A and B are shown apart, each in its own frame.
Chain A
């Protein structure tokens, strides 16, 4: 199985940059996903990393190091609407079905 760890909660200021870390232990790695979930709503896809390095998509970037079992999601120019839970998920063991971590609740304050 997989063991996925991410901080439970983070706070940041509007306009700032925040980095949400995720570590995982797995075998047969097939990719790492980040999803955003606002309270009471459906998760929405943010990024997918299968190779080492940084993937940038607008204000959001995701980094992966397979040798370290480590990823982070970087959010720049934070906005109030970025307050949400950020879910790290890993696909492994011959499957592309993501197993989700418990999520990091990000609170952005003015």
Chain B
């Protein structure tokens, strides 16, 4: 158990819909990272938040957005869903000032039908 909590574990929805994935980082970690893992693309970095502010952006689509709240939990919002958005979405957190080691949550598996 990494200490990073993600909900829901599984989600099935239809094209065009919107979903919200939630992540709570490990106690004391200020950074939250979102990654998408699909069979054909591997693990792709989406976005990072640090202490409530966006710190870095990766290959995140405009249909996707995220935020980090004052209690440091984060939400990833996916809208106008397409079949290709079906993937495992991982959240990770890291120790402030650490080597960059990421602690991953168990992931949210999204299936778009």
- Contact code string A38-70 (vs B, CB < 8 Å = 1, else 0): 000111110010100000000000000000000
Please tell me the size bucket of the interface on A: 20 to 34
A76 CB within 8 Å of chain B: no
Q: Which of A11-19, A20-28, A92-100 contacts B (4 or more CB under 8 A)?
A: A92-100
Quick check: A100 and B42 within 8 Å, CB to CB?
A: yes
A30 vs B98: C-alpha distance when bound (angstroms): 13
Q: Which residue of B lies closest to A48 (CB)?
A: B99
Main secondary structure on B side of the interface with A:
strand
Quick check: A97 and B45 within 8 Å, CB to CB?
A: yes
Q: Give the Cβ gap from B45 to chain A, nearest Cβ, in Å.
A: 6
A9 vs B51: C-alpha distance when bound (angstroms): 39
- Beyond known contacts A44-B2, A50-B99, A102-B42: 10 more, CB 8 A cutoff: A30-B100, A42-B104, A42-B107, A43-B90, A91-B100, A97-B56, A98-B100, A98-B102, A100-B35, A100-B45
Give 10 CB contacts A-B under 8 Å: A35-B102, A42-B105, A44-B2, A48-B99, A48-B100, A50-B99, A87-B42, A97-B45, A98-B100, A100-B43
